[in-house]
Structure 1
Amino acid sequence: MKDIVLYDRNCHFCKASKRLFEKLDWMNVVDWQALQSVNRPDFSQEELMEEIHLITPKGEVKKGFFAIRRMLLRFPLTGLIGLILHLPFLKPAGRFGYKVVADNRTCTFRKK
């Protein structure tokens, strides 16, 4: 079964990240859905705009760093990176790093 990833289709950085992850998804384990076209009463629009959301086949929700970590773990080429990111002492750094990028995403990548 596939994970569902909700991304911001109006954000150039998010679209570029999606394209990169799609290239890594050799096993086709992720279904990308634009948050603008999804009606999910369990998430507010503000919450969805704040960070990436991943919904597992079991219905678990992973957000931000934890969503990225799960995707990296599931892709063959990045599985080891995803595994390393599960080390307990990397959790605070991963959350902080994700927040910095997410808070500045419109400034970190410009469409040419």
Structure 2
Amino acid sequence: MKDIVLYDENCRFCKATKRLFEKLDWMKVIEWKPLQETQDTGFTQEELLREIHLITPTGSAKKGFFAIRRMLLRFPLTGLIGLIMYIPIFKPAGRLGYRVVADNRTCDIRKKGRGCNS
């Protein structure tokens, strides 16, 4: 069964991330859905815009670093990296790294300083 990843289709950085991950998803285990087209997710629009969200086939949600970690684990080429990210010592650094990238992303990756909702 597929995981569902909710991403911001108005964000160029998010779309570039999606394209990269789609290239790694040889087994087609991820279904990408624009958050702008989803309803009744149980999350606010603000939460969805803050970080990537992944919904597992069992209905549990992974956000931010935890969503990226799960995706990397499921891709054949990055499975070992994903597995290493499950080692407890890497959790704080992974969460911090994700937060830094998410908080400083610009949606126009060629023009610094332009935010996603500008």
What is residue 66 of structure 2 aligned with on the other side?
66
The aligned counterpart of 1:98 is 98
What is the alpha-carbon distance in structure 2 between the residues aligned to residue 108 and residue 93 of structure 1? 26
Q: How many matched pairs?
A: 111
Match of residue 24 from structure 1: 24
Q: Where do 1:27-106 residues align within 5 Å? A: 27-106=27-106
Q: Which deviations, in whole Å up to 9, do the C-alpha atoms of 1:16-51 show, x marking residues without a partner?
A: 000000000000000000000101251100000000
The CA deviation string for residues 60-82 of structure 1, in whole angstroms up to 9 with x for no partner, is: 10000000000000000000000
Aligned residue in 1 for 2:116: none
For the aligned residues, what is the CA RMSD? 1.4
Q: In 2, are the aligned partners of 1:73 and 1:82 still within 8 Å (CA)? A: yes
Contact 1:101 1:108 in 2 (8 A): no
Contact 2:65–2:95 (8 Å) recurs in 1: yes
SS of the equivalent of 1:21 reads helix
Distance 1:108 1:94 in 2: 24
2:14/2:107 contact within 8 Å kept: no
| Code of the aligned partner of 2:100 | V
What TM-score do the two structures reach when normalised by structure 2?
Answer: 0.90
- Structure 2 residue ranges without an equivalent (≥5): 112-118
Measured at CA, do residues 69 and 108 of structure 1 come closer, stay the same or move farther in structure 2, by a change above 3 Å?
farther
5+ long unaligned stretches in structure 1: none
Q: After the TM superposition, list the runs of 4 or more consecutive aligned residues in structure 1 that deviate by more than 3 angstroms.
A: none
Q: Percent identical across equivalent pairs?
A: 74
Q: Letter of the 2:64 partner, please give it.
A: G
User: Scaled by the length of structure 1, what TM-score is found?
Assistant: 0.95
Q: CA deviation at 1:85?
A: 0.3
| Cα shift at 1:90 | 0.4
Query: Is the helix fraction higher in 1 or 2?
Result: 1
